[in-house]
A and B are shown apart, each in its own frame.
Chain A
Amino acid sequence: MLKIPKRYSLRLSLVISAVFFALCILGAIFLPHITNTLISLKERFPEGGASAVLALAYAILAVAAAADVLVFVLLLRVRKRLVFTDGSIALVRGISWCCILLGALFGVLGYYFLVSFTLAFAAVFLGICLRVVKNVLEEGAEIKSENDLTV
């Protein structure tokens, strides 16, 4: 399996996170066009649903961009070796809530596009996984503080 050295791995994560943010901005520009294309592909679409879908799509994009910003800040903290700290734990908690919120938004979008339920399930599952990671980080921070304060 491909193993990237730790230094480059972190840099790569930062680059991917920045690219994702740029994609979010691009997505925001082309979102009306994308949603119109998706709606036109459907044979029957609820009356007045187009604006609701567009609003949902923008909400999803905004939450995804917010989560990405949190990920970027977390990566910067990892680079500064501030992993097992309250700040990093709060960031992971924030990302986890963003995932769960994304799940809810995708769930609502499922009313118009059935396939969105799959994305909702995936987002909620990711949110739950991140909550477990947050719990592990909290334990790690506790152990680190004990270790740091052992004389």
Chain B
Amino acid sequence: MIRINLDVMMAKRRMSLNELSDKVGITLANLSILKNNKAKAIRFSTLDAICRALDCRVEDILEYTEED
């Protein structure tokens, strides 16, 4: 499965969910869905905006694990 390590990156950058939501331009509710690994899909544009806001690479946020 694909895991989202958004909380790890946010902690590294010391950025709150509200701040990231403002910078990325998506709602707090959607960002929570993403952070809690509840999302079924992510748009390239969202991924692009998150990477830009957190100054990181895609693999810092997305991680593949074998468990379901």
Residues of chain A at the chain B interface (Cβ within 8 Å) = 145-146, 149-151
Contact = CB atoms under 8 A, between A and B. Distances in A.
Contacts of B17: none
Across the A-B interface, the 7 shortest Cβ-Cβ residue pairs? A149-B40, A150-B41, A151-B34, A151-B30, A151-B39, A146-B40, A149-B39
A145 B38 CA distance: 11
A146 B41 CA distance: 7
Interface of B: 26, 30-31, 33-34, 38-43, 46
A150 B38 CA distance: 10
Contacts of A151: 26, 30-31, 33-34, 39, 41-43, 46
14 contacts: A146-B41, A149-B33, A149-B38, A149-B39, A149-B40, A150-B39, A150-B40, A150-B42, A151-B26, A151-B30, A151-B33, A151-B39, A151-B41, A151-B42
